[in-house]
Amino acid sequence: MKEEESAGIPRLMVSAPAKSSGKTTLAIGIAANLSASGWQVNSFKKGPDYIDPAWHRLATGNECYNLDPWMMGPDGCRSSFIRHSGISEASLSLIEGNHGLHDGMSLDGSDSSAGLAEILQTPVLLVVDGHDAGRGAAATVMGMQAMPPSVTIAGVVLNRVRSERQAEKQRRAIEQYCGIEVLGSIPIDRLLTIPERHLGLTTVAETATAGEFIRNAAATVAACCDMEAITRLFFSAPHMAPRLACCPRQRSANPKARIGVFRDAAFSFYYPDNLEALEHQGAELVFIDSLAAAELPAIDALYIGGGFPESFFRELTANHSLMQGVRSAAESGMPLYAECGGLIYLSREALYRGESFPMAGVLPFDIGFTDRPAGHGYLELESTTGSPWFTKGERVKAHEFHYSSTTAISGNPLWQFTVHRGKGTTGRTDGIIQRNVFASYAHLHAVASPGWAPAFVSAAAAYRTAAA
């Protein structure tokens, strides 16, 4: 099919039989090449991930949006994908899967990367780690083809191959037995591995050589893969109407409130959808560097997301004037919304690797860290009380990934949620409410929790009015 004859949204998913196969490296290498060739690449990441999207954003210059069937549902994924896919003739939509193609919670695979590919009718470029394989690589690909949900595996790229001879053996077997063209083979290269840490890949903000890595990935993909053939795969997707009938979301010309957002190397975990949802509800966002700002600017509410505050405890505690400002803001009744890393920042103190670090002292507990995840995976929560943030009886789907836990809880705090799945803050509850402060280990997505942004902006506007 010629590119100019394709209608709708040209799209492609990059996935793999298993995690740590090289999906992110290939995806950002493809994205960087396409961007350099003049394409507008709209990128997406399947699942609840903050780190990979930041690498996509650096490679393309555009935001990378999350798509999660379990949290957002099929309709939420479909509408978000259409809304964030470009409608120009030079737009391509690239989705990076998570874990293995068929990995997910549901036995039927509906919430896997394959399930998302089925929802979006998107062809898949499969990355196969060929390091220890021969012709058996074809058996792996055949298994991916046969396993439901049924998806179109439109091409294969071999990764981490040891020699041209090994790659040729795999290529011939895959093309003969699977009927799929192998579009590239990438040799083992330690420079093409993003360092990993306890929560996944190292963040862009912490990687001084991030730009160099993306340039290396782009050069390697261009040299080892057939980029023309890969580009054609985008146009093999069946027609999906772009957002011609969707009303574009507009930012308010007269903001209802100013919401401060800690956004820096310590606190970088924010879904673009969440920030945009606040703006679309009438908020003006004011970004704050928690490591450098001496005080809070003139704001009506504060949003502290997740990240790696433990990597910056010395810098955070050294900035005691900002911590004092946050504590004073909370005592004044300013709405504060904190997730995971934000919850840690608002605690009394954090014990990390044998050292104690004083925190903002807003919440009545300390934080301790362990070598194993204290909470990891999806959360199912039920609101057991009404608050400015959530209504009583509201069910919330979210996710958590933390190596820390609350300790030495004082008094009898009020908790927003009962935990039906996951760990949350105490194992039974999550979402502490104190004055107008809400803090939890749960990471919410605005599409999955559509009432969150209106409630946040409403609380901020009420505070603004009261303070006037």
DSSP E strands, 305-394: 306-307, 336-339, 349-352, 355-358, 366-369, 375-383
Q: β-strand 257-262 against 283-288: which pairing, if any?
A: parallel
Q: Is 247 a catalytic residue?
A: no
CA distance 56 to 329: 35
CA distance 99 to 385: 36
Q: Counting beta carbons within 10 angstroms of the beta carbon of residue 202, is it exposed (0 to 12), middle (13 to 18) or buried (19 or more)? A: middle
CA distance 438 to 410: 17
> Residue 224: which of 166, 154, 167 has the closest Cα?
167
Could you identify the residue written with the tokens 């709405």?
335
By the 8 A CB rule, do 195 and 201 touch? Answer: yes
Q: C-alpha angle with apex 84: 82 to 85, nearest 5 degrees?
A: 65
Q: Which of 64, 77, 178, 340 is an active site residue?
A: 340
3-state helix, strand, coil in the chain (%, to 5): 35, 25, 40
CA distance 440 to 266: 17
Residue 228: helix, strand or coil by DSSP? Answer: helix
What residues pair up with 258 in beta bridges, in sequence order?
Answer: 284
Residue 42 makes CB contacts below 8 A (sequence gap 6+) with 60, 62, 84, 85, 86, 91, 92, 93, 94
**Catalytic residue positions, numbered:** 340
